[in-house]
Amino acid sequence: MTAALSALARITGTPVAQLRMRGDLPRLICASDGNHGLAIAAAAHIAGAAATIYLHHGVPRSRADRILALGASVYWIAGTYDHAVDAAAEAARVDGVLVPDTSSDVNDPIVRDVLSGYATMTGEINAQLATNGMIITHQFIQTGVGGLAAAMAQGLPRAKLAVVEPEQAACVAPALAAGHVVRIEGSLHTCAEMLACGEASAPALAILQQHDPLPVQVSESELLQAAGILQQEADIHTTPSGSAGLAGLLHVACSGDLRELAGLNRSSTVLLVATEAHPDAFIRNLDSELKAVRNFAAGFFPEMGPLDHTLPA
């Protein structure tokens, strides 16, 4: 979301606080498995811009409905997430501003802004660790195109990083092995829908290569089991995408060779991140969600001022 607002400000030469006063903002365009598209739709709603989100047919309708509720358009694409990425890029060449979460350009400024947004979490985590006097030795982070894992590696560099991917859609591990981005073919079908990506982000890969992460691939049954464990043991209602880090931890913990490779033992302190709530876990309130995202944006752009007034239509 902050990357989209920054992009609009940069392109139009307009301060973020004044974006919603303009009537000629360009359309925001992106591809998504659901969550990134929701963020871009929220940014467009805040700024008063139009947005078109490209989704592939594997994305659940419930995720599309949340995007539509924010006033964005949804364009459905046959194929995989990577086909949606290609379609969004082609559309943006004709009309609009592409706000990707992945790029083949290692210096893509918008993707860099997306990574900066992810880094909000590591700042909060480090503050809590300092307060509690805890030291994290390992982090098992779910990986789609690699952006979140890259931000976590930068923000918590002393914690050994494991990048966890579904066996059915593992694109970061092959890229790390090859030393460059490669596209994985196939359906990429996995119950971890938000991780169904066939091509890693070049900016994220460049960061990951500096941290020597441990690639971990998990099965569909392990992904589903991890989501169930979080719900039963911790009352955390998430999805297989959100619980993939736990799936990776359990996978490594059950293998002596992998435990040794990871340096994982009884004294280890492991960080996991549940990246989304299960869509059926609670009743969503659109007004509350919009107020939350506006106040999140205000944390990056204090000049936006009070955000409690009625949102633009």
Query: Are residues 47 and 181 both part of a single domain?
Result: no
Region 257-265: mean pLDDT is 97
Confidence of residue 41 (pLDDT cuts 50, 70, 90): very high
Provide the pairing of β-strand 160-166 with 214-218.
parallel
Which range of residues forms the domain containing residue 78?
Answer: 2-100+283-304
Distance of CA 57 to CAs 66, 83, 242, 292, Å?
16, 11, 20, 29
Instruction: Report the pLDDT value the prediction gives residue 281, as an integer from 0 to 100.
Output: 60
Query: Are residues 133 and 237 both part of a single domain?
Result: yes
User: In this model, does residue 176 exceed pLDDT 90?
Assistant: yes
Burial grade of 141 (CB within 10 A; 0-12, 13-18, 19 or more)? buried
Q: Answer whether residue 310 is part of any domain.
A: no
Alpha helical stretches, state H, 19-146: 35-47, 61-69, 81-94, 109-132
- What type of residue is 256? G
Angle between helices 35-47 and 286-300 (to 10 degrees): 80
CATH (domain of 211): 3.40.50.1100
Instruction: Report the pLDDT value the prediction gives residue 235, as an integer from 0 to 100.
Output: 92
Q: Answer whether residue 225 is part of any domain.
A: yes
> What's the mean per-residue pLDDT of the chain?
91
Query: Are residues 59 and 151 both part of a single domain?
Result: no
β-strand partners of 260:
none
Q: Answer whether residue 312 is part of any domain.
A: no
Edge to edge, what strands does the sheet with 51-56 contain?
A: 73-77, 51-56, 28-32, 97-98
β-strand partners of 51:
28
User: In this model, does residue 309 exceed pLDDT 60?
Assistant: no
Q: Answer whether residue 313 is part of any domain.
A: no
Query: Are residues 241 and 288 both part of a single domain?
Result: no
Confidence of residue 187 (pLDDT cuts 50, 70, 90): confident
pTM summary value: 0.87
Instruction: Report the pLDDT value the prediction gives residue 170, as an integer from 0 to 100.
Output: 96
